[in-house]
Amino acid sequence: MKLLVGTRSPGKTREIRELFTGLPFEVTFPSERFLEPLPDEADLERGTSYAENAVAKARYFATRGGLPAVADDSGLEVEFLGGAPGPRSARWALAAGSGAEVDAANNALLLEQLAGASEAQRAARYRCVIAFLATPSSVPEIVEATCDGYILTEPRGTGGFGYDPLFYSTDLRMSFGEAPPAAKHRVSHRGRAFRALIEVLLRRST
């Protein structure tokens, strides 16, 4: 089965490609299908929930690409911040620029918001919701996963992307920024969610 993965994030593209390695699926991404960004893509993540955003992206790319499509929406939920930034994680600081510049602004805002918070108050989780659409008009299949940790007071490691250098994984006992890719995939919200999706897709193909 060929799957169009509805993301333009270099970090997500790299991780998702690795997660599908060795499996009977051919994953492709918008740039590989010559699907140039259009202005209406800016509105695909305006929903109030991860599921709403994931379905909107999957439907959009299934329509444009003419292939079964998969899209995720992920976010960081911090206990001290009442679950924020949540579905707004990627756009929390309202920063413009490169992916690295946006990540830096979001991380700086997170540290500012948590100044003086105790380790217990810094408890956090990553959440990933994935939508699969066989056709643009299909009923979406949705899977979800989380991983737990807490927010560090300063970045550790240079791996991953987004909030990874600040997210200390209780499973790995290191930040996601320090974790080797294979270790991160084993416990991360995205790794767990995509493994659940892969089980769904394998059942569909038998």
Place of tokens 């740039």: 31
The predicted model scores a pTM of 0.92
Single-letter amino acid code for the residue at 180? P
Which range has the worst mean pLDDT, 58-62, 92-96, 105-109, 110-114? 92-96
Residues annotated catalytic, as ranges = 73
pLDDT of residue 42: 82
Name the DSSP class of 114: T
Could you give the dihedral angle defined by the CA atoms of residues 188, 159, 81 and 98, in that order, rounded to the nearest 10 degrees?
-120
- By the 8 A CB rule, do 50 and 74 touch? yes
Q: Mapping DSSP to helix (H, G, I), strand (E, B) and coil, where does residue 45 land?
A: coil
Place of tokens 């007071």: 153
The Cα–Cα gap between 122 and 116 comes to: 10
pLDDT of residue 204: 80
What would the mean pLDDT of 104-118 be, rounded to a whole number?
Answer: 95
The Cα–Cα gap between 122 and 119 comes to: 5
pLDDT of residue 43: 84
The most distant pair of C-alpha atoms in the chain lies apart, rounded to whole Å, by 53
The per-residue pLDDT for range 144-191, each reduced to its tens digit, is 999 999 999 999 999 989 999 999 999 999 999 999 999 999 999 999
- By the 8 A CB rule, do 122 and 151 touch? yes
Q: Which two tokens stand for residue 42?
A: 């800016």
Q: Mapping DSSP to helix (H, G, I), strand (E, B) and coil, where does residue 27 land?
A: strand
Percent pLDDT > 70 in the chain is 100
Place of tokens 């620029």: 97
Q: For 2-205, give the CATH class.
A: alpha beta
pLDDT at 115 over 90: yes
What would the mean pLDDT of 199-205 be, rounded to a whole number?
Answer: 86
Place of tokens 């927010």: 151
- By the 8 A CB rule, do 176 and 165 touch? yes
Q: Mapping DSSP to helix (H, G, I), strand (E, B) and coil, where does residue 74 land?
A: strand
